[in-house]
Amino acid sequence: MALDQSFVGRSYPPTPAYEVGREKIREFAEAVGDTNPAYTDPDAAKALGHSDVIAPPTFVFAITFKAAGVVIEDPQLGLDYSRVVHGDQRFSYTRPVRAGDRLSVTSTIESVNSRAGNDILDIRGEVHDESGEHVVTAWTKLVARAAGEEG
């Protein structure tokens, strides 16, 4: 069943702050095999002009995707999450995420479309730090495959 168009433009309240830890950044960098010292060595990060270690560019997805859960699980929207695949992902950065950041995400449904029976949902997550400064915007396209179509 096609999703309700009236959800376009709906925003959800900002999430409680996520505190970015140095060791969480290290764990993520190790998981993707990235040895750039800006992720693990505060002095190397400072030499590049950052106040502390920074996170790899895609690190923030873990925070924005968790925030998008309020949209995905909104019973009024009625998305069948068991059929959802990740279609596109895009980020626009004002500055890199860094250790010590306390980040809050505001999720908005940017568009709702149906194509060939698939429901396509675009969610924008605006990430701000504790002082209210913009850090990054994440756009996530989710595709709920048509019922009856396996694979």
Partner 1 sequence: MAAKIAYDEVEVGTELPAQTFPVTRATLVQYAGASGDFNPIHWNEKFAKEVGLPDVIAHGMFTMAEAIRVVTDWAGDPGAVVEYGVRFTKPVVVPNDDKGAVIEVSGKVAAKLDDDQVRVDLTAMSAGQKVLGMSRAVVRLA
CA geometry: angle 13, 51, 43, nearest 5 deg: 140
Among 2, 9, 85, 147, binds partner 1 (CB under 8 A): 85
Cβ distance to partner 1 smaller for residue 30 or 130: 30
To partner 1, the closest distance from the beta carbon of 4 in angstroms equals: 26
At 118, is the secondary structure helix, strand, or coil? strand
User: Measured in Å, how far apart are the chain's first and last C-alpha atoms?
Assistant: 19
E runs forming strands in the chain: 18-19, 84-93, 102-115, 118-128, 134-144
Among 9, 69, 78, 87, binds partner 1 (CB under 8 A): 87
Question: Is 10 an interacting residue with respect to partner 1 (CB under 8 A)?
Answer: no
- The helix (H) or strand (E) run that includes residue 52 is none
Question: 118: how many CB neighbours lie within 10 A of its CB?
Answer: 16
Question: Is 31 an interacting residue with respect to partner 1 (CB under 8 A)?
Answer: yes
Among 36, 69, 78, 80, binds partner 1 (CB under 8 A): 36
Give burial (CB, 10 Å; 0-12/13-18/19+) of 145: middle
Among 88, 117, 133, 147, binds partner 1 (CB under 8 A): 88
Cβ distance to partner 1 smaller for residue 4 or 80: 80
Question: Is 58 an interacting residue with respect to partner 1 (CB under 8 A)?
Answer: yes
98-127 residues near partner 1, rule: CB under 8 A: none
